[in-house]
Amino acid sequence: MDRCNAINLPEPSQELVDECNQFVHHPGDAIVLAAAWKSEADYFITLDRRHFIENKALREAAHFYIGTPGDFLDWFRGLLISADRNN
């Protein structure tokens, strides 16, 4: 964990959790989503298709990408290739 620069975030406000629950309609997932939203994450990795990946309203509103671990690796690989081409 030290090598990946993981950080602990403070618990999101109940107001933000309530806003996120309007997208996912699941209290536990709303807390996780609120934390991601507050963290200004670039990518939200999940295997939960029902509440996150196939949630069109959430995907349109989120300021970060949402996908599976494989989707993330494809996205990240694209960033590396793009950075390599620019150098």
Give the whole-number percent of the chain exceeding pLDDT 70: 95
Determine, yes or no, domain membership for 3. no
Determine, yes or no, domain membership for 8. no
Q: Inform me whether the pLDDT recorded for 80 exceeds 70.
A: yes
pLDDT reported for residue 41:
87
Determine, yes or no, domain membership for 37. yes
**Section 25-40 average pLDDT:** 94
pLDDT-based confidence at residue 2 (cuts at 50, 70, 90): low
Determine, yes or no, domain membership for 46. yes
Q: At what angle do helices 14-24 and 27-39 cross, to 10 degrees?
A: 120
pTM for this predicted structure: 0.83
pLDDT-based confidence at residue 85 (cuts at 50, 70, 90): confident
Determine, yes or no, domain membership for 68. yes
pLDDT reported for residue 3:
67
Determine, yes or no, domain membership for 40. yes
**Section 13-21 average pLDDT:** 97
Determine, yes or no, domain membership for 6. no
Quickly list DSSP for the chain. Answer: -TTTT--PPPPPPHHHHHHHHHHH--HHHHHHHHHHHHHT-SEEE---IIIIIT-HHHHHH-SSEEE-HHHHHHHHHHHHHHHHHT-
Counted domains in the chain: 1
Structural domain containing residue 71? 14-85
Determine, yes or no, domain membership for 56. yes
